Amino acid sequence: MKTVIIGGVAGGASAAARLRRLDESAEIILLEKGPYISFANCGLPYYLGGEIKEREELLLQTPESFYNRFKIDVRVLSEAVKIDRQRKVVHIKNLKDNTEYEESYDKLILSPGAKPIIPNIKGINRKNVFTLRNIPDTDKITEYIAEYSPRSAAVIGGGYIGLEMAENLYLRGLEVTVLEKASHVIGSLDFDTAVEVHNYIRSKGINLILGEAAEEITDSPDGKTIIKTANREIKTDMIILSIGVTPDTALAEDCGLELAPNNAVITNEHMQTSDKDIYAVGDCVMVKNLVTGEPAHIPLAGPANKQGRIAADNICGIKSVYKGSIGSAILKFFDLTVAACGINERAAKASGLDYDKVFLYALSHAGYYPGARNISMKVLFENKSGRILGAQLVGFKGVDKRCDVLSAAIRHGFTAYDLEELELCYAPPFSSAKDPVNMAGFVITNIIEGIVKQYHWHDIDRLSKDENVTLLDVRTEREAARGCLERSINIPLDSLRDRLNELDKSKPVYVVCQSGLRSYIACRLLSQNGFDCYNLAGGYRLYESVTKEKEKTPSLQNGTEL
């Protein structure tokens, strides 16, 4: 059996190694148009920032090491330019000498990955405008910084890579601006979760501009580069484009393989394309979103590695199946950790799911043990079943392990009742007896079972104008004096039992506290005394942070979707 693999890095290199482990006699050829077959592209920002000291640490395999370990014929600087499906050959261009030749195959694996999106912006083709996708990109940025000593940088795009680049350029001593077209950074988050990230970005001295798109790049008289938006001009010395990626599927399209509307390759669960002898893996393929069941493009290293292994299995007669992805991802931004898994509200609405959400502020470990930090959690769930649909977490400690647990829960169809029952490791330095994941389960089941009803920050504008409801603030007088909901009555929780006569039982009572805990207790008290009561999810803290963020971003006043 002769297998040709087009593209290395995560998917292609994993497929090649698995093929050899399964079949010692197989002929395996790996083609890579770049100079490196396997490198840590997720580590590139950290090399630029100096956290990873040596460039060689990014190189996971070389052609020589791959051949010595696996006897795989690796050809770098070898670009596949055409696939002849009828003859089962690949036309290859040797980029070292510009010669071309053909290579036959029995099975073919496509792993070309994705390429950076380059927006159609006037003036974008400049020597100080960069993308970051591979080691040559990293070298160009490093060389530019060494030669020109820029003092400022603008990152266009506030996704995971964009923020990692912002941090690492800042650590190199540059003044950094992040320009994001959307209403918030990190597309897998919702606006109400992202506001905490926004506040932290600004606290680090990074200029964050939201809701504005770059429209033109030009020069200023003082030698700076200017990014023009509809509202302002941003002066900078260099620009990083981090808008996202698109599947690199020109080869697949040219040879007539079935593609999705976004040009990603369509495969079956065995990673086979519309041609039974051609497989595709990694950032170039469509997968199934396990939460919604719908097709999705989820370009992540973990899924790419698994898909490469599954393609190799099937070529060797093992009927492995790729079931789909839930898009689990995580970001370190200075000391802050941001993580998400499953779907966000935008995706839930688009899929027509009957869902709701809860907000929690839980400590990373037992509060009496030194060093506990808050974790902000938003968890989406299906209303009737309690199935967990998605989670978003922001904090400084313990975020990764909680998101990993929730990711596993989502993948296996867990409900809130399952979260309640999870037996997770507990000792004061690591968690609490009721872990934050358990707490999410408790909060959700209270809602499903009707023990408490809730309302959300985006309901408050409507409720504050409704004379037929009571807004009740159960925080202390001092807390309420620092800021409260319009028309709200302040009765501290500890006084509430003795002051029930001050409330009108004929009106629904919408209760608020700082985080949602005291208002939950108040709702239980009120409900058992004949009141129709609702608890503000996330509390005044969430409402205040979202409201202030909307005020900072003029474009959000014009109906921009949050």
What are the residue numbers of the active site? 42
Q: What's the Cα-to-Cα distance from 478 to each of 474, 496, 516, rounded to whole Å?
A: 11, 16, 17
Q: Which amino acid type is present at position 387? A: R
Q: What are phi and psi of 449, to 5 degrees?
A: -90, 5
Q: What is the maximum span of the chain, computed from C-alpha positions, in angstroms?
A: 90
Half-sphere exposure for 451 (CA within 13 Å, toward CB): 10
Dist. CA 331–CA 342, nearest whole Å: 16
Which string of b and e fits 360-387 if b means at least 16 CB within 10 Å? bbbbbbbeeeeebebbbbbbbbbeeebb
Closest residue by Cα to residue 385 from 357, 354, 348: 354
- Within its chain, how far is the Cα of 212 from the centroid? 21
DSSP labels for 448-489? HTTS--EE-GGGHHHHHT-TTSEEEE-S-HHHHHT---TT-E
Residue 473: both structure tokens together? 């603030």
* Distance set, CA 151 to CA 7, 125, 237, 293 (Å): 36, 21, 7, 47
Count Cα neighbours of 121 within 13 Å in the Cβ-side half-sphere.
Answer: 23
Separation CA 72–CA 12 (nearest Å): 12
CA atoms within 13 A on the CB side of 194: 22
What angle do helix axes 539-552 and 191-203 make, rounded to 10 degrees?
A: 70
Packed helices 9-22 and 63-70: angle between N→C axes, nearest 10 degrees: 20
Tokens of 143: 């060389």
DSSP at 57: G
CA 245 to chain centre: 13
CA distance 520 to 527: 10
Question: Per this entry, what is the length of the chain?
Answer: 562
State how far the Cα of 386 lies from the Cα of 397, in Å rounded to an integer.
27
Helix and strand totals (H; E) in the chain: 16, 32
